[in-house]
């Protein structure tokens, strides 16, 4: 279930579409997912999308608008609002502040390893 959500987080997946995919009720889906992630589905999906956006901010030169669309956010504004709530800075500010550290091989390997987990 976790892998399915990660692999489809850039699409317009919903609790209903995930439940239908696994042939379970939405109640069962939320219960099983929250036991593993300690988050409700909506918050977990947003977190997966934000972490993917963070990875792309550090590893590419894609625009924030492109990253927002690619990661499943409805607009760059929505990504910016959620990213700022999460990291206390905009995606552009985060990229400027931390992309220089991503070029460090050790950091890059750690982030790539984490990113490939999901």
The whole-model pTM stands at 0.83
pLDDT at residue number 102: 80
Question: Comparing 103 with 36, which gets the higher pLDDT?
Answer: 36
The predicted model gives 8-29 an average pLDDT of: 93
pLDDT at residue 54 greater than cutoff 70? yes
- The pair phi, psi for residue 52, each rounded to 5°, is -65, -40
pLDDT at residue 117 greater than cutoff 70? no
- The pair phi, psi for residue 71, each rounded to 5°, is -90, 0
The residue behind tokens 């070029």 is: 103
50 three-class SS: helix
């Amino acid at each position: 279930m976790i892998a399915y959500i990660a692999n489809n987080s850039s699409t317009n997946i919903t609790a209903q579409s995930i439940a239908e995919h696994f042939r379970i009720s939405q109640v069962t889906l939320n219960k099983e997912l929250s036991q593993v992630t300690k988050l409700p589905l909506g918050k977990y999906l947003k977190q997966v999308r934000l972490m993917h956006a963070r990875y792309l901010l550090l590893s590419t030169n894609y625009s924030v608008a492109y990253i927002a669309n690619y990661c499943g956010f409805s607009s760059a504004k929505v990504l910016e609002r959620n990213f700022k709530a999460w990291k206390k800075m905009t995606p552009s500010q985060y990229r400027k502040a931390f992309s220089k550290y991503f070029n460090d091989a050790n950091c890059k390997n750690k982030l790539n390893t984490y990113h490939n987990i999901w």
